[in-house]
Structure 1
């Protein structure tokens, strides 16, 4: 297939999938699977559903995603991040049959199956545990004031089931939900969308903004920290452990 032919296909199909385009999609999907991109980052059915326009955007953004991944240090057994903070994705087709354009990603999408334990990233109080049409079953945790005087919240979206209620005091590593695909913006892709928000006052205002979760891991920036019951965690500053259950090195099921 000539480069010019492929380019014209990507430019003019506008997301409509014909039998010929489907063949082209499968060829490109195969190329993606054989590339250095994280295994299982893209599901073939999602690629086919996106159409060639969507795939073009995914291919274009994949090099950025790989570059971001190169910064991240994963401990053994930690589920991988499918879409990182400030990633830019193109067109995706959701269960409702329309396409959307996503701007810079406001959190991280952790690639876990439906029913995977979602953990509190630090001690705090459940501020919200409720349903949103876009986010599905969501949880917001208030973690209080950090050493710099700012206030921090973590947000957990697309859960299959929430296990906590507003006002509950929770501990780091406590199971607060089971992951899922709930909400319009999950686009039928099982994952946990995890966000960190920062503000100058305890009460939410327009001055609150999302921040990079990778700057807040216990082990240091971009060093994902799995929760471990055998470890103690300092309270001098608010730092987070991974909000999903990891298979730690002493877990007999790690290599299964």
Structure 2
């Protein structure tokens, strides 16, 4: 019971800090204990990142959290095949996309968690920038705070062994959050595994 109260208080604190002017163009820090932080540059029109990736014993966060209102479109960060689309109690509505093999010959995956609605279904082929769902607060690990939890499984399938910081893979370079632009990004080569932001920028 105490743990739930602490989680709710934390969620309320974060929500309170995200006034309208902070809802875009801000990026949370990694914290002092994280051994390999990325210097993040986020466009002023991009919904803010409220929690970064952590791969630390007993304090893991295997993705990043993007804050935006419930119902905000969630879009594919790279093209591929939807291999999971389901609801679970911890993470609520979630979608997983398998991306084509890169120059290494290995595939990668992205996961989109706490969705309000799932639009894409298993077997769908989606292009980069295709809407696959809407942002929500589903699953008890959302803590009642509207956000997209976004994960990257690079060249593998295990969340423990393959999870990597999405900030390493933006189209514009490491740490340079890249908003999807239909004119520039729809036909990117899959030779290198690169990502665009999983929600639209305003």
- Unaligned segments of structure 2, at least 5 residues: 18-27
Q: Does structure 1 conserve the Cα–Cα contact (< 8 Å) formed by 2:30 and 2:37?
A: no
Q: Does structure 2 conserve the Cα–Cα contact (< 8 Å) formed by 1:198 and 1:208?
A: no
Q: Does structure 2 conserve the Cα–Cα contact (< 8 Å) formed by 1:41 and 1:82?
A: no
Moved >6 Å (runs of 4+): 67-70
- Aligned-partner Cα distance in 2 for 1:69–1:211: 12
Give 1:209's aligned residue: 162
- Aligned-partner Cα distance in 2 for 1:196–1:132: 19
Aligned residues: 182
2:176 to 223, 227, 232: 223
Q: Classify 1:164/1:183 alpha carbon distance in 2 versus 1 (closer, same or farther; 3 Å).
A: same
Q: Which one scores higher on RCO, CA 8 angstroms, separation ≥ 6? A: 2
Q: Does structure 2 conserve the Cα–Cα contact (< 8 Å) formed by 1:135 and 1:186?
A: yes
TM-score, length-scaled by structure 1: 0.63
3-state SS of 2:31 partner: helix
Give 2:102's aligned residue: 146
- Aligned-partner Cα distance in 2 for 1:211–1:43: 26
- Unaligned segments of structure 1, at least 5 residues: 1-13, 18-24, 30-39, 46-60, 89-101, 248-256
Give 1:81's aligned residue: 49
Write 1 or 2 for the structure with the bigger share of helix.
1
TM-score, length-scaled by structure 2: 0.79
Larger radius of gyration: 1
3-state SS of 1:42 partner: helix
CA RMSD in angstroms, aligned pairs only: 3.2
